[in-house]
Structure 1
Amino acid sequence: MANSTTTATPSQGGTENLPFWKRSHYLDRMTLRQLVFAYFQHYTIIAYLGLTVLCVLAFALYPTTALRGAASFVVALVVYPLVWHLLHQYVLHGQWMYKIKPLAATWKRIHYDHHQDPNHLEVLFGALHTTVPTIFLATAPIGYAIGGIGGAAAAFAGGLLTTCYYEFMHCIQHLAFKPKWKWVQHMKQRHVEHHYFDEDGNFGITNYFWDRLLGTYYQKKDRPKRSATVFNLGYDETVAAQWPFVKDLSGGIASGHPRRRVQGKEGFDPNASKNTIA
Protein backbone atom coordinates (compact mmCIF):
# COMPACT_ATOMS: atom_id res chain seq x y z
CA MET A 1 0.00 0.00 0.00
CA ALA A 2 2.96 2.33 -0.36
CA ASN A 3 1.53 3.85 -3.51
CA SER A 4 -2.05 5.04 -3.20
CA THR A 5 -4.26 4.54 -6.22
CA THR A 6 -7.55 6.05 -7.20
CA THR A 7 -10.44 3.90 -6.02
CA ALA A 8 -14.10 4.05 -6.87
CA THR A 9 -16.15 6.25 -4.61
CA PRO A 10 -19.58 5.27 -3.32
CA SER A 11 -21.17 7.48 -5.94
CA GLN A 12 -19.65 5.40 -8.75
CA GLY A 13 -21.63 2.43 -9.93
CA GLY A 14 -20.56 -1.18 -10.03
CA THR A 15 -18.72 -1.30 -6.73
CA GLU A 16 -21.30 -3.23 -4.71
CA ASN A 17 -20.18 -6.63 -6.06
CA LEU A 18 -16.49 -6.09 -5.35
CA PRO A 19 -14.82 -7.74 -2.32
CA PHE A 20 -15.17 -5.62 0.83
CA TRP A 21 -11.71 -4.02 0.80
CA LYS A 22 -11.74 -3.52 -2.98
CA ARG A 23 -14.46 -0.92 -2.47
CA SER A 24 -14.00 2.55 -1.00
CA HIS A 25 -15.38 3.25 2.45
CA TYR A 26 -16.05 6.65 3.99
CA LEU A 27 -16.56 6.97 7.72
CA ASP A 28 -18.98 9.88 7.42
CA ARG A 29 -21.34 7.48 5.62
CA MET A 30 -20.96 4.49 7.96
CA THR A 31 -22.69 3.40 11.14
CA LEU A 32 -20.83 2.26 14.25
CA ARG A 33 -21.85 -1.32 13.52
CA GLN A 34 -20.45 -1.09 10.00
CA LEU A 35 -17.23 0.36 11.38
CA VAL A 36 -16.80 -2.51 13.87
CA PHE A 37 -17.39 -4.98 11.03
CA ALA A 38 -14.77 -3.26 8.87
CA TYR A 39 -12.29 -2.77 11.70
CA PHE A 40 -11.94 -6.45 12.58
CA GLN A 41 -11.62 -7.37 8.91
CA HIS A 42 -8.77 -4.98 8.19
CA TYR A 43 -5.46 -6.72 7.60
CA THR A 44 -3.52 -4.37 9.91
CA ILE A 45 -5.75 -5.13 12.92
CA ILE A 46 -5.58 -8.84 12.18
CA ALA A 47 -1.78 -8.53 12.00
CA TYR A 48 -1.53 -6.61 15.31
CA LEU A 49 -3.67 -9.16 17.12
CA GLY A 50 -1.73 -12.04 15.56
CA LEU A 51 1.59 -10.49 16.65
CA THR A 52 0.16 -10.06 20.15
CA VAL A 53 -0.52 -13.80 20.30
CA LEU A 54 3.09 -14.43 19.25
CA CYS A 55 4.22 -12.09 22.05
CA VAL A 56 2.27 -14.19 24.54
CA LEU A 57 4.00 -17.33 23.23
CA ALA A 58 7.40 -15.62 23.44
CA PHE A 59 6.67 -14.60 27.01
CA ALA A 60 5.77 -18.20 27.84
CA LEU A 61 9.00 -19.49 26.32
CA TYR A 62 11.20 -16.80 27.88
CA PRO A 63 9.35 -15.81 31.04
CA THR A 64 10.33 -13.08 33.42
CA THR A 65 8.85 -12.31 36.83
CA ALA A 66 5.24 -11.15 36.99
CA LEU A 67 6.38 -7.77 38.32
CA ARG A 68 8.90 -7.23 35.52
CA GLY A 69 6.44 -8.37 32.91
CA ALA A 70 3.73 -6.04 34.21
CA ALA A 71 6.22 -3.16 34.45
CA SER A 72 7.31 -3.72 30.84
CA PHE A 73 3.70 -3.74 29.64
CA VAL A 74 2.75 -0.59 31.59
CA VAL A 75 5.87 1.33 30.52
CA ALA A 76 4.92 0.66 26.89
CA LEU A 77 1.47 2.16 27.54
CA VAL A 78 3.11 5.29 28.99
CA VAL A 79 5.83 5.70 26.36
CA TYR A 80 3.62 5.09 23.32
CA PRO A 81 1.63 8.38 23.45
CA LEU A 82 4.83 10.45 23.59
CA VAL A 83 6.43 8.54 20.71
CA TRP A 84 3.25 8.90 18.67
CA HIS A 85 3.06 12.63 19.38
CA LEU A 86 6.65 13.27 18.33
CA LEU A 87 6.33 11.18 15.17
CA HIS A 88 3.05 12.84 14.28
CA GLN A 89 4.40 16.35 14.76
CA TYR A 90 7.93 16.05 13.38
CA VAL A 91 7.71 13.24 10.83
CA LEU A 92 4.14 13.06 9.52
CA HIS A 93 3.72 16.85 9.61
CA GLY A 94 7.34 17.60 8.86
CA GLN A 95 8.21 19.33 5.61
CA TRP A 96 10.97 16.96 4.55
CA MET A 97 9.75 13.49 3.53
CA TYR A 98 8.10 14.65 0.29
CA LYS A 99 11.44 16.22 -0.75
CA ILE A 100 13.17 12.83 -0.79
CA LYS A 101 11.96 10.74 -3.72
CA PRO A 102 12.32 7.30 -2.04
CA LEU A 103 10.26 8.58 0.94
CA ALA A 104 7.62 10.53 -0.99
CA ALA A 105 5.34 7.52 -1.55
CA THR A 106 5.58 6.58 2.13
CA TRP A 107 4.67 10.10 3.29
CA LYS A 108 1.79 10.22 0.81
CA ARG A 109 0.46 6.88 2.02
CA ILE A 110 0.89 7.32 5.78
CA HIS A 111 -0.40 10.87 6.19
CA TYR A 112 -0.86 13.14 3.16
CA ASP A 113 -3.65 10.97 1.77
CA HIS A 114 -5.36 10.94 5.17
CA HIS A 115 -5.41 14.73 5.41
CA GLN A 116 -6.54 15.07 1.81
CA ASP A 117 -9.66 13.14 2.82
CA PRO A 118 -9.87 12.44 6.57
CA ASN A 119 -12.91 10.18 6.23
CA HIS A 120 -11.43 7.80 3.66
CA LEU A 121 -11.18 4.59 5.68
CA GLU A 122 -8.64 2.73 3.55
CA VAL A 123 -5.90 5.31 4.16
CA LEU A 124 -6.79 5.93 7.81
CA PHE A 125 -5.16 2.73 9.07
CA GLY A 126 -1.39 2.90 9.31
CA ALA A 127 0.70 0.87 6.87
CA LEU A 128 2.28 -2.19 8.49
CA HIS A 129 5.72 -1.63 6.99
CA THR A 130 5.91 1.63 8.94
CA THR A 131 3.88 0.90 12.07
CA VAL A 132 5.22 -2.50 13.18
CA PRO A 133 8.93 -1.52 13.18
CA THR A 134 8.05 1.73 14.95
CA ILE A 135 6.03 0.00 17.66
CA PHE A 136 8.79 -2.56 18.18
CA LEU A 137 11.60 0.01 18.44
CA ALA A 138 9.56 2.23 20.78
CA THR A 139 8.67 -0.56 23.21
CA ALA A 140 10.75 -3.73 22.98
CA PRO A 141 14.16 -2.26 23.98
CA ILE A 142 12.66 -0.77 27.15
CA GLY A 143 10.94 -4.05 27.94
CA TYR A 144 14.17 -5.97 27.33
CA ALA A 145 16.03 -3.68 29.74
CA ILE A 146 13.41 -4.42 32.40
CA GLY A 147 12.80 -8.12 31.91
CA GLY A 148 14.86 -9.60 29.09
CA ILE A 149 13.13 -11.34 26.19
CA GLY A 150 9.98 -11.85 28.21
CA GLY A 151 9.91 -8.16 29.11
CA ALA A 152 10.45 -7.20 25.46
CA ALA A 153 7.53 -9.43 24.44
CA ALA A 154 5.29 -7.88 27.11
CA ALA A 155 6.22 -4.34 26.09
CA PHE A 156 5.76 -5.06 22.38
CA ALA A 157 2.35 -6.57 23.13
CA GLY A 158 1.46 -3.41 25.05
CA GLY A 159 2.42 -1.29 22.05
CA LEU A 160 0.44 -3.47 19.65
CA LEU A 161 -2.72 -3.42 21.76
CA THR A 162 -2.40 0.33 22.29
CA THR A 163 -2.15 0.71 18.52
CA CYS A 164 -5.36 -1.30 18.10
CA TYR A 165 -7.04 1.05 20.58
CA TYR A 166 -5.66 4.12 18.81
CA GLU A 167 -6.82 2.91 15.41
CA PHE A 168 -10.36 2.22 16.63
CA MET A 169 -10.68 5.54 18.45
CA HIS A 170 -9.24 7.29 15.40
CA CYS A 171 -12.02 5.74 13.31
CA ILE A 172 -14.59 6.83 15.88
CA GLN A 173 -13.37 10.41 15.61
CA HIS A 174 -14.20 10.43 11.90
CA LEU A 175 -17.50 8.58 12.20
CA ALA A 176 -20.65 10.67 11.72
CA PHE A 177 -22.10 10.31 15.20
CA LYS A 178 -21.91 12.11 18.53
CA PRO A 179 -20.44 9.94 21.30
CA LYS A 180 -22.39 9.69 24.55
CA TRP A 181 -19.31 9.93 26.75
CA LYS A 182 -17.90 13.38 27.46
CA TRP A 183 -14.28 12.22 27.30
CA VAL A 184 -14.83 10.74 23.82
CA GLN A 185 -16.61 13.93 22.72
CA HIS A 186 -13.61 15.97 23.89
CA MET A 187 -11.18 13.63 22.14
CA LYS A 188 -13.19 13.73 18.92
CA GLN A 189 -13.55 17.52 18.89
CA ARG A 190 -9.82 18.10 19.30
CA HIS A 191 -9.06 15.70 16.46
CA VAL A 192 -11.71 17.21 14.18
CA GLU A 193 -10.08 20.60 14.76
CA HIS A 194 -6.73 19.10 13.78
CA HIS A 195 -8.20 17.93 10.46
CA TYR A 196 -10.63 20.71 9.57
CA PHE A 197 -9.32 23.85 11.27
CA ASP A 198 -5.59 23.87 11.99
CA GLU A 199 -3.28 20.90 11.51
CA ASP A 200 -0.50 22.51 13.55
CA GLY A 201 -1.63 21.21 16.93
CA ASN A 202 -3.67 18.54 18.74
CA PHE A 203 -1.29 15.82 17.59
CA GLY A 204 -2.51 13.26 20.11
CA ILE A 205 -5.22 10.84 19.04
CA THR A 206 -6.55 9.56 22.33
CA ASN A 207 -4.24 11.42 24.72
CA TYR A 208 -3.63 15.18 24.68
CA PHE A 209 -1.39 15.24 27.76
CA TRP A 210 1.72 15.75 25.65
CA ASP A 211 0.01 18.44 23.57
CA ARG A 212 -0.69 20.36 26.75
CA LEU A 213 2.85 19.84 28.05
CA LEU A 214 4.57 20.70 24.76
CA GLY A 215 2.34 23.67 23.91
CA THR A 216 0.51 22.23 20.89
CA TYR A 217 -2.92 21.81 22.51
CA TYR A 218 -5.65 24.17 21.33
CA GLN A 219 -9.37 24.63 20.96
CA LYS A 220 -10.91 26.31 17.93
CA LYS A 221 -11.68 29.46 19.91
CA ASP A 222 -7.98 29.83 20.69
CA ARG A 223 -6.97 30.42 17.06
CA PRO A 224 -8.25 33.31 14.95
CA LYS A 225 -8.70 31.62 11.56
CA ARG A 226 -8.62 28.34 9.68
CA SER A 227 -5.28 27.14 8.37
CA ALA A 228 -4.91 27.40 4.60
CA THR A 229 -2.92 24.15 4.58
CA VAL A 230 -5.20 22.00 6.73
CA PHE A 231 -6.00 19.61 3.85
CA ASN A 232 -2.64 19.53 2.06
CA LEU A 233 -0.10 19.88 4.92
CA GLY A 234 1.61 22.64 2.96
CA TYR A 235 2.15 20.53 -0.14
CA ASP A 236 0.56 22.84 -2.71
CA GLU A 237 1.24 23.61 -6.37
CA THR A 238 4.14 25.92 -5.52
CA VAL A 239 5.87 23.26 -3.44
CA ALA A 240 5.04 20.55 -5.97
CA ALA A 241 6.73 22.55 -8.71
CA GLN A 242 10.05 21.99 -6.90
CA TRP A 243 9.33 18.56 -5.39
CA PRO A 244 6.81 16.86 -7.74
CA PHE A 245 7.10 13.29 -6.44
CA VAL A 246 3.83 13.23 -4.45
CA LYS A 247 1.97 15.13 -7.17
CA ASP A 248 3.10 12.61 -9.76
CA LEU A 249 1.89 9.74 -7.58
CA SER A 250 -1.45 11.47 -6.98
CA GLY A 251 -2.09 12.55 -10.56
CA GLY A 252 -2.35 16.21 -9.53
CA ILE A 253 -2.93 18.34 -6.47
CA ALA A 254 -6.36 18.26 -4.86
CA SER A 255 -7.15 21.32 -2.76
CA GLY A 256 -10.04 22.56 -0.69
CA HIS A 257 -12.61 20.56 1.25
CA PRO A 258 -12.65 16.89 0.11
CA ARG A 259 -16.44 16.83 -0.36
CA ARG A 260 -16.31 19.78 -2.77
CA ARG A 261 -13.77 18.36 -5.18
CA VAL A 262 -15.96 17.92 -8.25
CA GLN A 263 -15.81 19.62 -11.60
CA GLY A 264 -16.72 23.27 -11.39
CA LYS A 265 -16.35 23.28 -7.59
CA GLU A 266 -13.54 24.02 -5.17
CA GLY A 267 -10.19 22.36 -5.80
CA PHE A 268 -10.88 20.85 -9.25
CA ASP A 269 -7.81 20.96 -11.50
CA PRO A 270 -8.85 20.44 -15.14
CA ASN A 271 -5.20 20.23 -16.22
CA ALA A 272 -4.32 17.33 -13.94
CA SER A 273 -4.06 13.91 -15.55
CA LYS A 274 -6.60 12.68 -13.03
CA ASN A 275 -8.23 14.21 -9.98
CA THR A 276 -8.31 12.23 -6.77
CA ILE A 277 -9.23 12.86 -3.18
CA ALA A 278 -6.61 10.40 -1.93
Structure 2
Amino acid sequence: MVTEPDFTVDLSKPLVFQVGHLGDGYQEWVHQPIVGKVGPRLFASDILEFLTLTAWWVIPVVWLPVVCYFVSRSLLMGHSPREVSIMVVTGIFIWTLVEYILHRFVFHIKTKSYWANTAHYLIHGCHHKHPMDGLRLVFPPAAAAILSIPFYYLVLFCSTPSTAPGLFGGGLLGYVMYDCTHYYLHHGQPKTNPARHLKRYHLNHHFKIQTLGFGITSSLWDNMFGTYPPQKLAPEKIM
Protein backbone atom coordinates (compact mmCIF):
# COMPACT_ATOMS: atom_id res chain seq x y z
CA MET A 1 0.00 0.00 0.00
CA VAL A 2 1.31 3.46 -0.85
CA THR A 3 0.42 6.68 0.87
CA GLU A 4 -3.03 7.88 -0.15
CA PRO A 5 -2.76 11.02 -2.31
CA ASP A 6 -2.89 14.25 -0.31
CA PHE A 7 -3.79 12.41 2.91
CA THR A 8 -2.90 14.32 6.08
CA VAL A 9 -3.51 13.16 9.62
CA ASP A 10 -5.84 15.57 11.42
CA LEU A 11 -4.45 15.82 14.96
CA SER A 12 -7.69 17.39 16.19
CA LYS A 13 -9.59 14.15 15.49
CA PRO A 14 -9.19 10.60 16.91
CA LEU A 15 -6.00 9.20 15.40
CA VAL A 16 -6.15 5.40 15.45
CA PHE A 17 -8.25 4.89 12.34
CA GLN A 18 -6.48 7.68 10.46
CA VAL A 19 -2.86 6.54 10.59
CA GLY A 20 -3.40 3.44 8.46
CA HIS A 21 -4.13 5.67 5.47
CA LEU A 22 -0.53 6.93 5.56
CA GLY A 23 0.58 3.66 3.95
CA ASP A 24 4.32 3.51 3.43
CA GLY A 25 4.61 7.09 4.71
CA TYR A 26 3.55 5.98 8.19
CA GLN A 27 7.07 5.13 9.41
CA GLU A 28 8.39 8.59 8.63
CA TRP A 29 5.34 10.27 10.19
CA VAL A 30 5.32 8.27 13.42
CA HIS A 31 9.01 8.94 14.09
CA GLN A 32 8.60 12.70 13.98
CA PRO A 33 7.71 13.25 17.67
CA ILE A 34 5.36 15.90 18.97
CA VAL A 35 6.61 16.98 22.39
CA GLY A 36 3.77 17.86 24.74
CA LYS A 37 2.42 16.52 28.00
CA VAL A 38 -1.16 16.45 26.73
CA GLY A 39 -1.70 13.38 24.60
CA PRO A 40 -3.95 13.02 21.55
CA ARG A 41 -7.35 11.40 21.42
CA LEU A 42 -7.08 7.93 19.92
CA PHE A 43 -10.71 6.76 19.71
CA ALA A 44 -14.06 8.46 19.23
CA SER A 45 -15.56 5.99 21.73
CA ASP A 46 -15.18 7.17 25.33
CA ILE A 47 -14.93 3.56 26.54
CA LEU A 48 -12.13 2.62 24.14
CA GLU A 49 -10.36 5.89 24.87
CA PHE A 50 -10.52 5.22 28.62
CA LEU A 51 -8.96 1.78 28.14
CA THR A 52 -5.86 3.34 26.56
CA LEU A 53 -5.14 5.57 29.58
CA THR A 54 -3.13 4.23 32.52
CA ALA A 55 -1.42 6.17 35.32
CA TRP A 56 2.07 4.85 36.14
CA TRP A 57 1.22 4.01 39.77
CA VAL A 58 -1.46 1.55 38.64
CA ILE A 59 1.28 -0.86 37.52
CA PRO A 60 2.86 -1.53 40.95
CA VAL A 61 -0.53 -1.42 42.69
CA VAL A 62 -1.95 -4.11 40.39
CA TRP A 63 1.09 -6.30 39.77
CA LEU A 64 3.16 -6.34 42.98
CA PRO A 65 0.51 -8.41 44.84
CA VAL A 66 0.55 -10.83 41.88
CA VAL A 67 4.35 -11.02 42.12
CA CYS A 68 4.08 -11.85 45.83
CA TYR A 69 1.50 -14.54 45.09
CA PHE A 70 3.66 -16.35 42.55
CA VAL A 71 6.84 -16.06 44.62
CA SER A 72 5.04 -17.40 47.70
CA ARG A 73 3.85 -20.42 45.72
CA SER A 74 7.42 -21.56 45.16
CA LEU A 75 8.10 -21.07 48.87
CA LEU A 76 5.05 -23.11 49.81
CA MET A 77 6.16 -25.87 47.44
CA GLY A 78 9.25 -26.42 49.55
CA HIS A 79 11.95 -24.17 48.13
CA SER A 80 14.13 -22.23 50.55
CA PRO A 81 14.17 -18.41 50.60
CA ARG A 82 17.65 -18.52 49.05
CA GLU A 83 16.48 -20.72 46.20
CA VAL A 84 13.44 -18.56 45.56
CA SER A 85 15.62 -15.44 45.60
CA ILE A 86 17.74 -16.98 42.85
CA MET A 87 14.57 -17.74 40.86
CA VAL A 88 13.39 -14.15 41.20
CA VAL A 89 16.74 -12.68 40.15
CA THR A 90 16.86 -15.10 37.21
CA GLY A 91 13.34 -14.08 36.20
CA ILE A 92 14.30 -10.40 36.29
CA PHE A 93 17.37 -11.13 34.16
CA ILE A 94 15.31 -13.06 31.61
CA TRP A 95 12.82 -10.19 31.50
CA THR A 96 15.57 -7.76 30.41
CA LEU A 97 16.14 -9.96 27.35
CA VAL A 98 12.40 -10.25 26.66
CA GLU A 99 12.12 -6.47 26.98
CA TYR A 100 14.89 -5.99 24.42
CA ILE A 101 13.48 -8.55 21.96
CA LEU A 102 9.95 -7.15 22.13
CA HIS A 103 11.11 -3.57 21.71
CA ARG A 104 13.47 -4.29 18.84
CA PHE A 105 11.60 -6.91 16.81
CA VAL A 106 7.91 -6.30 17.66
CA PHE A 107 7.52 -2.67 18.67
CA HIS A 108 9.78 -1.48 15.84
CA ILE A 109 8.54 -3.73 13.06
CA LYS A 110 8.21 -1.90 9.74
CA THR A 111 4.60 -1.60 8.56
CA LYS A 112 2.83 -0.05 5.59
CA SER A 113 -0.59 -1.68 5.18
CA TYR A 114 -3.66 -0.04 6.71
CA TRP A 115 -4.25 -2.55 9.52
CA ALA A 116 -0.56 -3.14 10.23
CA ASN A 117 -0.01 0.61 10.63
CA THR A 118 -3.09 0.83 12.86
CA ALA A 119 -1.94 -2.06 15.07
CA HIS A 120 1.60 -0.70 15.32
CA TYR A 121 0.32 2.73 16.26
CA LEU A 122 -1.74 1.25 19.08
CA ILE A 123 1.08 -0.93 20.40
CA HIS A 124 4.00 1.49 20.21
CA GLY A 125 3.65 4.12 17.51
CA CYS A 126 1.51 6.45 19.62
CA HIS A 127 4.29 6.52 22.19
CA HIS A 128 6.89 7.54 19.62
CA LYS A 129 4.61 10.18 18.12
CA HIS A 130 3.70 11.64 21.54
CA PRO A 131 6.58 10.50 23.82
CA MET A 132 5.62 12.73 26.75
CA ASP A 133 2.01 11.54 27.00
CA GLY A 134 2.06 10.53 30.66
CA LEU A 135 -1.04 8.34 30.49
CA ARG A 136 0.23 6.15 27.64
CA LEU A 137 3.70 5.34 28.91
CA VAL A 138 2.80 2.12 30.73
CA PHE A 139 0.94 -0.94 29.49
CA PRO A 140 -2.77 -1.22 30.47
CA PRO A 141 -3.14 -4.03 33.07
CA ALA A 142 -5.99 -5.77 31.24
CA ALA A 143 -3.89 -6.19 28.10
CA ALA A 144 -0.84 -7.23 30.15
CA ALA A 145 -2.90 -9.86 31.98
CA ILE A 146 -3.97 -11.45 28.69
CA LEU A 147 -0.39 -11.52 27.39
CA SER A 148 0.98 -12.90 30.67
CA ILE A 149 -0.93 -16.20 30.30
CA PRO A 150 1.13 -17.64 27.42
CA PHE A 151 4.30 -16.34 29.08
CA TYR A 152 3.48 -18.27 32.25
CA TYR A 153 2.89 -21.49 30.37
CA LEU A 154 6.14 -21.00 28.47
CA VAL A 155 7.99 -20.65 31.77
CA LEU A 156 6.19 -23.74 33.10
CA PHE A 157 7.17 -25.69 29.97
CA CYS A 158 10.84 -24.70 30.36
CA SER A 159 11.10 -25.33 34.11
CA THR A 160 9.30 -27.35 36.79
CA PRO A 161 5.94 -26.89 38.56
CA SER A 162 7.67 -25.69 41.73
CA THR A 163 10.20 -23.32 40.13
CA ALA A 164 7.89 -21.82 37.47
CA PRO A 165 5.98 -19.58 39.92
CA GLY A 166 9.20 -18.10 41.35
CA LEU A 167 10.69 -17.54 37.89
CA PHE A 168 7.47 -16.04 36.57
CA GLY A 169 7.13 -13.83 39.64
CA GLY A 170 10.67 -12.58 39.04
CA GLY A 171 9.91 -11.88 35.41
CA LEU A 172 6.75 -10.05 36.40
CA LEU A 173 8.74 -8.00 38.90
CA GLY A 174 11.14 -7.17 36.06
CA TYR A 175 8.17 -5.97 34.02
CA VAL A 176 7.00 -3.70 36.88
CA MET A 177 10.50 -2.27 37.16
CA TYR A 178 10.55 -1.76 33.39
CA ASP A 179 7.27 0.15 33.20
CA CYS A 180 8.02 2.34 36.22
CA THR A 181 11.54 3.03 34.95
CA HIS A 182 10.17 3.91 31.52
CA TYR A 183 7.81 6.47 33.02
CA TYR A 184 10.61 7.97 35.14
CA LEU A 185 12.97 8.26 32.18
CA HIS A 186 10.40 10.42 30.39
CA HIS A 187 9.12 12.51 33.29
CA GLY A 188 11.82 12.40 35.96
CA GLN A 189 14.94 14.56 36.10
CA PRO A 190 17.64 12.31 37.60
CA LYS A 191 20.74 14.07 38.89
CA THR A 192 23.06 11.09 39.27
CA ASN A 193 24.00 7.91 37.43
CA PRO A 194 22.88 5.30 36.51
CA ALA A 195 19.44 6.93 36.15
CA ARG A 196 20.88 10.00 34.41
CA HIS A 197 22.72 7.77 31.94
CA LEU A 198 19.56 5.71 31.26
CA LYS A 199 17.51 8.84 30.60
CA ARG A 200 19.97 10.19 28.03
CA TYR A 201 20.29 6.74 26.47
CA HIS A 202 16.50 6.41 26.13
CA LEU A 203 15.96 9.95 24.83
CA ASN A 204 18.54 9.23 22.14
CA HIS A 205 16.26 6.42 21.00
CA HIS A 206 13.24 8.73 20.80
CA PHE A 207 14.67 11.94 19.45
CA LYS A 208 17.80 11.07 17.50
CA ILE A 209 18.17 7.48 16.30
CA GLN A 210 15.11 5.24 16.71
CA THR A 211 16.84 2.22 15.15
CA LEU A 212 19.18 1.82 18.14
CA GLY A 213 18.86 1.75 21.93
CA PHE A 214 16.11 -0.80 22.56
CA GLY A 215 16.79 -1.50 26.25
CA ILE A 216 14.87 0.42 28.90
CA THR A 217 15.96 -0.85 32.31
CA SER A 218 19.42 -1.80 31.08
CA SER A 219 21.73 -1.20 28.14
CA LEU A 220 23.21 -4.72 28.54
CA TRP A 221 21.64 -6.30 25.47
CA ASP A 222 22.23 -3.26 23.25
CA ASN A 223 25.92 -3.56 24.10
CA MET A 224 25.90 -7.30 23.45
CA PHE A 225 24.05 -7.12 20.12
CA GLY A 226 25.62 -3.97 18.73
CA THR A 227 22.59 -1.68 18.95
CA TYR A 228 23.94 0.77 21.53
CA PRO A 229 23.40 4.35 20.25
CA PRO A 230 26.13 7.00 20.09
CA GLN A 231 26.36 8.97 23.30
CA LYS A 232 25.73 12.69 23.85
CA LEU A 233 23.06 13.02 21.19
CA ALA A 234 19.86 13.90 23.00
CA PRO A 235 19.22 16.60 25.63
CA GLU A 236 18.68 15.34 29.15
CA LYS A 237 15.61 17.46 29.70
CA ILE A 238 12.66 17.40 27.32
CA MET A 239 9.85 19.78 28.23
TM-score range (shorter-chain normalised) is 0.5 to 0.7
Q: Residue 151 and residue 106 in structure 1: after superposition, are their counterparts in 2 closer, same or farther (change >3 A)? A: farther
How many Å apart are 1:109 and its aligned residue?
Answer: 2.0
Question: Which of 56, 62, 70 matches 1:39?
Answer: 56
**Aligned equivalents of 1:92, 1:62: Cα separation in 2:** 37
Question: Which of 168, 183, 186 matches 2:180?
Answer: 168
How many Å apart are 1:134 and its aligned residue?
Answer: 4.9
- Runs of at least 5 residues in structure 2 that lack an aligned partner in the other structure: 1-14, 18-36, 40-48
Match of 2:93 in 1: 78
8 Å contact from structure 1 (residues 79, 139) kept in 2: no
More relative contact order, 1 or 2 (CA 8 Å, 6+ apart): 2
Q: Residue 168 and residue 158 in structure 1: after superposition, are their counterparts in 2 closer, same or farther (change >3 A)? A: same
Q: TM-score, normalised by structure 2?
A: 0.66
Match of 2:6 in 1: none
8 Å contact from structure 2 (residues 74, 163) kept in 1: yes
Match of 2:26 in 1: none
> RMSD in angstroms over aligned alpha carbons?
3.7
How many Å apart are 1:142 and its aligned residue?
Answer: 4.2
**Aligned equivalents of 2:88, 2:75: Cα separation in 1:** 15
**Aligned equivalents of 1:51, 1:4: Cα separation in 2:** 32
Q: Which moved more, 1:108-117 or 1:121-130?
A: 121-130
Q: Is residue 179 of structure 2 the alignment partner of residue 179 of structure 1?
A: no
Amino acid at match of 2:227: T
Q: Residue 167 and residue 133 in structure 1: after superposition, are their counterparts in 2 closer, same or farther (change >3 A)? A: same
Q: Residue 10 and residue 121 in structure 1: after superposition, are their counterparts in 2 closer, same or farther (change >3 A)? A: closer
8 Å contact from structure 2 (residues 56, 138) kept in 1: no
| Secondary structure in structure 2 of the residue aligned to 1:153 | helix
Match of 1:265 in 2: none
8 Å contact from structure 2 (residues 155, 168) kept in 1: no
**Aligned equivalents of 2:106, 2:142: Cα separation in 1:** 15
Match of 1:256 in 2: none
How many Å apart are 1:144 and its aligned residue?
Answer: 6.3
Q: Is residue 127 of structure 2 the alignment partner of residue 118 of structure 1?
A: no
Q: Residue 76 and residue 138 in structure 1: after superposition, are their counterparts in 2 closer, same or farther (change >3 A)? A: farther
Q: Residue 100 and residue 68 in structure 1: after superposition, are their counterparts in 2 closer, same or farther (change >3 A)? A: farther
After TM superposition, the structure 1 = structure 2 runs for residues 39-58 of structure 1, keeping only pairs within 5 Å, are 39-40=56-57, 42=58, 44-58=59-73
Amino acid at match of 2:86: A
- Runs of at least 5 residues in structure 1 that lack an aligned partner in the other structure: 12-20, 26-37, 224-258, 260-278
**Aligned equivalents of 1:10, 1:141: Cα separation in 2:** 38
How many Å apart are 1:65 and its aligned residue?
Answer: 4.5
Match of 1:198 in 2: 209
Deviations 1:243-276 (A, max 9, x none): xxxxxxxxxxxxxxxx9xxxxxxxxxxxxxxxxx
8 Å contact from structure 1 (residues 79, 138) kept in 2: no
Amino acid at match of 1:122: L
Deviations 1:37-80 (A, max 9, x none): x532x2x4433223223314533553435454333222212111
Match of 2:103 in 1: 88
**Aligned equivalents of 2:38, 2:199: Cα separation in 1:** 25
Match of 1:59 in 2: 74
Q: Residue 84 and residue 209 in structure 1: after superposition, are their counterparts in 2 closer, same or farther (change >3 A)? A: same
How many Å apart are 1:169 and its aligned residue?
Answer: 1.2
Deviations 1:143-175 (A, max 9, x none): 6654x3331111111111111111111111111
Identity %: 23
**Aligned equivalents of 1:139, 1:74: Cα separation in 2:** 16
**Aligned equivalents of 1:105, 1:46: Cα separation in 2:** 30
**Aligned equivalents of 1:100, 1:151: Cα separation in 2:** 43
Runs of 4+ in 1 over 6 A off after TM superposition: none
